[in-house]
Structure 1
Amino acid sequence: MTNDTSSSPSYLRSLGVWSGAAIVVGGVIGSGIFRTPATVAERTSSGLPLLALWALGGLLTLAGVLCYGELGARRPQAGGIYLYLRDAFGSLPAFLFGWTMALINYPGSVAAVAVTFADYACRAVSLPVWWVKPVAAGAIVFIVGINLFGIRAGSWLVNVFTLLKLAAIALLLVVGLALAHGHLGGILAIDTTHQVSGGAWIGALLPVLFTYGGFHYLNDMAGEVRDPQRTLPRALTLGLVGVAVCYVLVNVAYLVGLGHAGLAASKAPAADLMSNIFGPHGATIMAIGIACSTFGYCSIAIAGGARVLQTMGSDGMFFRSVGQIHPRWRSPQVALAVLGVWAIVLILTGTFDQLVNYTTVGEWLGHAFGIATLFWYRRKFGAESSPFRVPLYPVLPFVFVCTVLGVIAATVINTPGDAGMSLLIIACGIPVYAAWRGWSRLRARGS
C-alpha cells in the first residue's frame, strides 16, 4: 500500500482529538436533524417516545462507533471499511464495497447534499432557483480546491463549518429551551390513547439511525490522524456523544416550540420554529445555518471518499494514478479531482437522488460486514496488546451488526425496488472486478 511504503509519499499525520471529533460531528450532522424529526414524530404518539428513540439511536450508534474505534486503532491507515474488508475477507468483497461506495454512493451523496446547500444558500440571499446547480457545482470545486493543499487546509475548512453548524444548533437550543420553562412536563407526557406497534417503532427508528450515519469518515482518513491508536477512539466517542446530546436537545426544542402534532405536520421544523419566534428573518437565519451544515458535510464526504479511492488505486483496484499522494501537500489530488468531477456530473444530470437511494442497502451492508471484521481481527491478533478494545466484547459488535441487519431488512421491506437495485449494483461489480483483474495481469505481463 502507498501508505505503508517508505519510498512513496505518505499521508501527514496532523489530526488531533478535537479536529477528529469535528470530522465526526461534521460527518454526522448534515441536513437530517433539521428535517427528519418531523418524520419520527409522524410515527410516534407523543414527545417522550420520540425523545427515547433519539436517545436509543445514539446508544446503538455509539456501539458501532466504539467498534470503529478499535478497528481504526488496529489498522490506522486510510481506507476505512475498504481496508478492513480486504484484510478479513479478501479483495473481492473490498472491491465490491469500494465499487458501490467510492464510485456511486459517496459522489451521489455529495451531489445531493451540495444541491441542498445551494438551495438553502440561494434562499438566504434571494437568488432565483436556476442558480442552485451552478452554486452546488461551484461549492464542490471550492471544496476540492482547498483539499488539494492537504489535510491541514481541509481540516481548517471542516473546523470552521462545524463551528457554524453547531452555532445554528445552539440557536435552536436557546430558543427551544427558553420556551421550555414550565412546559417540560407537557412535552414528556405519554399519550395513552394511541398504541404504537413494534413495527411502527422500528419504522420510527429507521430515520433516526440514518440521521446518525456518517461517523465512519474519520476512519477513512485514519492515515492522517496523529497517535491514531489513542486519538481515533477518543475522537470518535467524543464526537458521537456530542452529536447525540445535540440531537436530543434539538428535539426538545422542536417539541416545545411546535408541539408533537405541529412537529409531525411540519415539512421544515427548524425553519418553522425560527419563523414562529422571529418571523421571516428567523427562517433566513436558519437557512444560513443549514447551508453551513450541509457545506461542512460535503467537505468531509469528499475528503473521506477520496481516501477510499486513493487506497483502491494504490491496491491496483482502480487506476494507479488515483492511488498517488502528492509529495508536497500529502493529499490524494487525483482521487479528489475524480470524485469532485463525478459529483458535478451527477449534479448537472440530476441523477444523484436515485443513486443514493439505490446504494443505501450497500452502504449498510458495508457497515455490517465492516464491524464483523472485528471478530476476525480479535481471533487473528487477539493476543497482541491494543491501546483500545471495545468494552463488553462481543456484545457491542454483535448488537450493532444485528441492528444494521435489521435496518437492511426493514429497508428491503419498505423499498424493495431500491433495495433490489442496490443489490444489482453490487452484483455488477463482480464482472467489473474480474475484468479489472484480467486487464491488470495483461498489463503486468506487457510491462
Structure 2
Amino acid sequence: MTEKQEQPKLKHELGLLDGTMLVAGSMIGSGIFIVSADITRDVGSAGWLIAVWLITGFMTLTAAVSYGELSAMFPKAGGQYIYLKEAYNKLIAFLYGWSFFAVIQTGTIAAVGVAFSKFAAYLFHPLSEDNILFHSSLVNISAAQLVSIVVIVLLTFINTKGVKSGKIIQNIFTITKLLSLFGLIIFGFFALKGDVWHANWTNAWSMHKLNADGSFGSYTLAAAMGAIAAAMVGSIFSSDAWNNVTFIAGEMSNPKRNIGLSLFFGTLIVTIIYVSANVMYTGVLSMHDIATADKDRVAVAASHVIFGDLGTYIIAVMIMISTFGCNNGLIMAGARVYYSMAKDGLFFKRTGTLNKFAVPEFGLWIQAVVASILCLSGRYGDLLDMISFVVVIFYVLTILGIYILRVKRPNAERPYKAFGYPVLPAIYMIMGVVFCILLIIYKPNFTWPGLIIVLIGIPIYYFTQRNSTNEDQADLLS
C-alpha cells in the first residue's frame, strides 16, 4: 500500500523588499503618464491637480496602514478576500472575489497589457492599435491587442514556474522604473520654465472646467465636488492594486510584520513619485498643454520639453518597463485570491491545487484567459471606468471590518494595530463614501454597471453553495 502523495504547499520565499516592490510595481502602470490630462480638464488648475493626487495619496496611505492590522491577524493567501470573510461572511467575500475575477484584476491586466503595446508601437509602428489584423462586424483585432495577449501569456507562463521566478522579474522591473521615474522628475525640475510655472500657479486654486479650445467653464459648489470625484477616478485607478501584496501573504516570510511594512513603504514611495511627477508637469507644461496632450499622453509632452525629440522614445521605453513589471505583479498576486476561494468551495475546485512549483497554476491560466478575452473585446476601458467605484466600496467595507473584528474578537492576537485607530480609518471610510455618493450623483455611468457586475455574483454564489452541498452529500453516501 503506497502512502498518499503529499500535496505541495505555498513556499515562504518573499521578504520585505519583495513585498515593497510588489506594492510599488503593481501600483505604477501607465496611469501616471496619462490620467493627469483628464484630471486637469475636470479641475482646470495646478493647485487642484496636485490636491487630487494628494487626497488620493492620503486615502491610499491611510487604507494601507489600516490593512496592516488585518494582514497581521490573517497572514494567509487571499488577503482582502480573507479579511472580508472573517469580518462578515462568505457571501460578501465571494462578491469581492467574483468582482475581482470578472473585472477588477482581469480588466486591469488587460488595460495594462494594451498600454504596453501602444507604447511599443512608438519603437516599432506595426504594433500599433491602428494596425487592424482582423476585421468583422463583431470585433476588430489589432496588433496591439495581440501583443498584449502575448505579454499576458508570457508573464503567466513565467509565474507558473514558481514564486521565485515572478519575484525576480518584479524586483528588476520595479527598481528600474522607480529609478527611471525619479530621473524623469529630476530632469524635469532642471528643465523647469519660470514663465510656465508662474502662469500655472498664479491662480492655482481657481477651479473650473478646462475645455479643449482653451475656454473655461465655471462650477457651482456642488458641481465642484462632483468634478473632484470625477477627477479622482483616474488618480484612484493609478493608485490601485496596492493591496496585491496581501494576496500573497502565504508566501511571505514573517508575514505578520512584512505585509504591513510593505504596504506602508510601497504606498509612500508611489505617493511621493505621483505628486512629484505632477508638480514637475506644471513646471514644464501649461495647464492647457496638460489638458490637451495628444491622446492624453502628458508624460510624452513633458518629455519633449525636457529631452527634445528623443523624449518620445524615452517615455515609450519607460512605460513599457513600467507596464511589464506592473502586469507581472498583478498576474502573480491575482491567482492567490482564486486559490483561497477554491479552498472555501467558492471557485473551480482545481484552482485550489498547487503545481510542482507550489503555485496555483490553474488559477493563473484562467485569469490569463479572461484578461485576454477582455483585450480582444476592446471593452476593458469601459470596465475600468467602473473599477474605482467598486474597488472603493470594498476598501470601505474591509476597513469597517477592523471595527467589527475589534468587537467580535476583542482578544484575538493583533501583532500590529491600525495606525491612528479609530480616527484615521474612520476618515478614510467617510472620504470613500463621499467619493462613491458623488460618483452616483454626477457620474452614474461609472457606478451602476459596476454594481450590476457585483450583484450578478449573488445568484452565482448560491449556485456554487448548492453544488458544494450536493458534492458533500455524495461523498457521505459513497
Aligned to 1:3: none
Q: Deviation at 1:356?
A: 3.1
Counterpart for residue 73 of structure 1: 72
Shift of 1:175: 2.0
| CA separation of 1:256 and 1:193: change in aligned 2, threshold 3 A | closer
Offset at 1:34?
Answer: 0.5
* Mapping for residues 337-376 of structure 1, pairs under 5 Å: 337-376=365-404
**What secondary structure, in the 3-state scheme, does the structure 1 residue paired with 2:392 have?**
helix
> Residue 197 of structure 2 contacts residue 283 of structure 2 at CA under 8 Å; is this kept in 1?
no
Task: Name the residue aligned to 1:141.
Answer: 153
C-alpha separation in 1, matches of 2:449 and 2:52: 29
Normalising by structure 2, what TM-score?
0.86
Q: Does 1:207 align with 2:234?
A: yes
Number of the residue aligned with 2:313: 284
In structure 1, the partner of 2:343 is 314
Partner of 2:10, secondary structure, is coil
Distance (whole Å) between structure 2 residues aligned to residue 77 and residue 202 of structure 1: 34
Distance 1:274 1:181 in 2: 13
> Shift of residue 50 of structure 1?
2.7
After superposition, the Cα gap between the structure-2 partners of 1:349 and 1:110, relative to the gap in structure 1 and judged at 3 Å, is same
Whole-Å separation in 1 of the counterparts to 2:187 and 2:277? 10
Q: Which moved more, 1:351-360 or 1:230-239?
A: 351-360
Q: Cα 1:188–1:240, aligned 2, differ >3 Å: closer, same or farther?
A: farther
Letter in 2 for 1:436: T
Other-structure match for 1:33? 32
Aligned partner of residue 43 in structure 1, secondary structure: helix
CA distance 1:188–1:48, change in 2 (3 Å):
farther
- The CA distance in 1 between the partners of 2:433 and 2:330, in whole Å, is 24
Amino acid at match of 2:474: G
The worse-fitting range, judged by mean Cα deviation, of 241-250 and 363-372 is 363-372
Q: Distance in 2 between matches of 1:8 and 1:208?
A: 42
Displacement of 1:219 after TM fit? 0.8
Contact conserved, 1:48 with 1:187, CA < 8 A, in 2? no
- Contact 1:141–1:340 (CA under 8 A) maintained in structure 2: yes
Distance 1:23 1:183 in 2: 39
* 8 Å Cα contact 1:360/1:422 also seen in 2: no
Deviation at 1:441, TM superposition (A): 1.5
1:186 pairs with 2:159:
no
- Aligned equivalents of 1:53 and 1:361: distance in 2? 16
Partner of 1:151: 163
Change in Cα spacing, 1:376 to 1:33, as seen in structure 2 (3 Å) is: same
The separation in 1 between residues aligned to 2:204 and 2:346, in whole angstroms, is 56
Q: Which amino acid aligns with 1:39?
A: D
Q: Is the 8 A contact 2:188 2:280 kept in 1?
A: yes
> Does the residue aligned with 1:369 lie in a helix, a strand or coil?
helix
Residues 242, 77 of structure 1: alpha-carbon distance in 2 compared, 3 angstrom cutoff: same
Structure 1 residue 367: deviation in Å?
1.3
The answer to whether structure 1 residue 122 and structure 2 residue 134 are counterparts is no
Aligned equivalents of 1:307 and 1:389: distance in 2?
A: 25
* Cα distance, 1:202–1:187 mapped onto 2, change above 3 Å: farther
Counterparts of 1:91 and 1:316, CA distance in 2: 10
Sort the Cα spacing of 1:235 and 1:145 in 2 relative to 1 into closer, same or farther, 3 A.
Answer: same
Distance, in Å, in 2 between the alignment partners of 1:96 and 1:195 is 38
Give the counterpart letter for 2:63 in structure 1: G
Cα offset for 1:190? Answer: 4.1
Deviation at 1:444, TM superposition (A): 2.1
Q: State whether residues 187 and 256 of structure 1, in contact with CA within 8 Å, keep that contact through their aligned partners in structure 2.
A: no
Deviations 1:210-260 (A, max 9, x none): 322221101111111111111111111111111111111111211111133
Q: Distance in 2 between matches of 1:349 and 1:248?
A: 34
- 1-side partners of 2:467 and 2:407: how far apart? 35
The structure-2 alpha-carbon separation of the partners of 1:282 and 1:426, relative to structure 1 and needing over 3 Å to count, comes to: same
Give SS of 2:161's match. coil
Alignment match of 2:433 (pick from 390, 400, 405): 405
Retained in 2: the 8 A contact 1:62–1:240?
A: yes
Does the 8 Å contact 1:168/1:290 carry over to 2?
no
Matches within 5 A, 1:175-254: 175-180=187-192, 186=198, 189-191=201-203, 194=206, 197=221, 198-199=224-225, 200-254=227-281
Pairwise CA distance, 1:110: 0.8
Residue identity opposite 1:323 in structure 2: G
Match of 2:282 in 1: 255
Q: Which residue of 1 aligns with 2:218?
A: none
1:427–1:128 Cα change, 3 Å: closer
3-state DSSP of counterpart to 1:263: helix
Distance 1:269 1:351, change over 3 A: closer
Quote the RMSD (CA, aligned, Å).
2.3
1:20–1:256 distance in 2 versus 1, CA, 3 Å: same
Q: Are residue 437 (structure 1) and residue 436 (structure 2) matched?
A: no
Q: 1:120 and 1:214 mapped to 2: Cα distance?
A: 22
Percent of aligned positions that are identical: 29
CA deviation vs aligned residue, 1:57-87 (integer Å, no higher than 9, x gap) = 2122111010111111111111122111111
- Aligned-partner Cα distance in 1 for 2:205–2:65: 39
**8 Å contact 2:120–2:127 — kept in the other structure?**
no
Distance verdict in 2 for CA 1:205–1:443, change over 3 Å: closer
- Secondary structure of the structure 1 residue equivalent to 2:285: helix
Q: Residue 377 of structure 1 is aligned with which of 405, 409, 412?
A: 405
Question: 2:336–2:360: 8 Å Cα contact kept in structure 1?
Answer: yes
* One-letter code aligned to 1:377: L
Q: Does 1:305 align with 2:334?
A: yes
After superposition, the Cα gap between the structure-2 partners of 1:386 and 1:178, relative to the gap in structure 1 and judged at 3 Å, is same
Of 418, 422, 446, the match for 2:450: 422
CA distance in 1 between counterparts of 2:26 and 2:302 reads 24
Shift of 1:394: 0.9
Q: How many pairs align?
A: 441
